[in-house]
Amino acid sequence: MRRLRKIKIVATLGPASSDYETIRALFEAGADVFRLNMSHGSHDDIGVRHGIIRQIEKDLGRPIAILADLQGPKLRVGVFANGEEELAEGSTFRLDLDDAEGDATRVQLPHKEIFEALEPGSSLLVNDGKIRLRVRECGPDFAECEVIVGGTISNRKGVNVPDVVLPLAALSEKDRKDLEFVCQLGVDWLALSFVQRPADVEEARELARGRAAILSKIEKPSGVAHFDAILEASDGIMVARGDLGVELPVQNVPPIQKRLVRKCRAAAKPVIVATQMLESMIESPMPTRAEVSDVAAAIYEGADAVMLSAESAAGAYPVEAVMTMNNVAIEVESDPTYRDVINASRGGIKETVADAIVSAAREIAETTNIKAICCFSQTGTTAVLVGRERPMVPIIALTPMRGTARRLCLSWGMHCVTTGEVSRFKEAVINAARAARTEGFATAEDQIVVTAGVPFGQSGTTNILRVAPCEERLIFATDPG
């Protein structure tokens, strides 16, 4: 099952997409990665969906990546005696640790860590930023605030604290239990919420013990401020624009998105652009023109993946949403301007042998009649380096490791194929030629480029390139050994 575009699609599963038929339809429509949102659903629900994905993978013979998205700490106000209250602009409103029911003058905020970090002048945002408070006076158990933007406040609405680094771990007790559950279940990626510093990533990596790759969600200003260190500690990134747009001025989000995507590409680490991409399709079979332009912008930027959240998890048109995203991607990637933009954003510095090898592979493929670049890799390193080059020709990632094939499903342009173990580069070339023919990328008369790291099994040793025919008889005839 060959995709006709390079960017990947992440589809969130939920009540609208929890049975075999729907999940299979999502995959056939274009979903490459399925997201299991640990904020919703029991472990039993998550386990059932995981089992369905693996069954579809078996039935269709294609690797599928599974991303488990951990909830992270949720900061919420307490409850009100009347269920809700109206806060007027300019009035005073108090947050404290008292568990008594709230009224128009105060409510509980059961997070002492917030009070420890607040200072006079700090901002507090309630209900996705619809209500804005500014701290006048604060102590270890209270914050006296002025209402800057008023509105209706009700039970257990979320609270954002944009301008301070909170002394909270990215992993709550629930997250730790969820992490262990999904790692035992067998997921490929772990998405961490509330990442503020690289130590948050290191904690999750220690708990995961190599059982899943770590993807950091950038959804707080502190995550943006410490992004370079977070990127270095992570295996991938999600630009979670919804929360970023609450905690930062909305006009700041597009340039931040562009910067983060470019840095991820330079580091050869996959980046997902997420939230509110086709939100109107929760209720409508057609997206807005602005939403289509938003998806297209992420594709032009060179993101590895775009993500559907409620559109596929709880919407009325989950399959149509994936089809729309797929069609937009195909159209954008066929635009000559897309190639111009991608080429212009390619880094020019080649520092290592591996950098030079993959750059040469792309240049050879694009200047001659090469049908595909085939990357043989146990860990995926060779493949992601080729993907960083964003070549025009298809990339076939061959690996004997099923987990590697699944993880690479998130990376730009990868058509992942599991193959047998090899000990010699000649064997890798033969396997690559077979895969190119079998998967419909080339015929026996065509040529491919094959890259690998020798000796096999050592990460980061990309050091060999060969232009090879796709007919095995010719491979043996032209083998120098």
Task: Decide if 275 is catalytic.
Answer: yes
What is the H or E stretch that residue 95 is in? strand 92-96
Task: Decide if 177 is catalytic.
Answer: no
Q: Which of 5, 35, 157, 406 is catalytic?
A: 35
Contact 430, 469 (CB under 8 A): no
What is the CA 29 to chain-centroid distance, rounded?
A: 19
Q: Both ends of the chain: CA-CA distance in Å?
A: 35
Whether residue 364 has pLDDT greater than 50: yes
Whether residue 37 has pLDDT greater than 70: yes
Q: Which of 275, 379, 382, 419 is catalytic?
A: 275
pLDDT in tens, 111-162: 999 999 999 999 999 998 999 999 999 999 999 999 999 999 999 999 999 8
Its CATH architecture, for the domain 353-478, is 3-Layer(aba) Sandwich (3.40)
Count CB neighbours of 216 within 10 A: 29
Whether residue 472 has pLDDT greater than 90: no
* Average pLDDT of the segment spanning 281-294: 97
Domain segments of the chain: what residues? 8-73+169-341, 84-160, 353-478
Fold of 84-160: M1 Pyruvate Kinase; Domain 3 (2.40.33)
pLDDT in tens, 305-331: 999 999 999 999 999 999 999 999 999
Q: Which of 217, 265, 388, 407 is catalytic?
A: 217
Task: Decide if 35 is catalytic.
Answer: yes
pLDDT mean across residues, the chain: 94
Task: Decide if 217 is catalytic.
Answer: yes
Q: 271 or 463, which is more confident?
A: 271
Q: What CATH number should be reported for the domain whose range is 8-73+169-341?
A: 3.20.20.60
Global pTM value: 0.93
Which two structure tokens, joined as six digits, stand for 228? 């370079």
Q: Which of 76, 130, 346, 434 is catalytic?
A: 76
Q: What is the number of H-type helices and E-type strands within the chain?
A: 18, 21
Which two structure tokens, joined as six digits, stand for 123? 């901002």
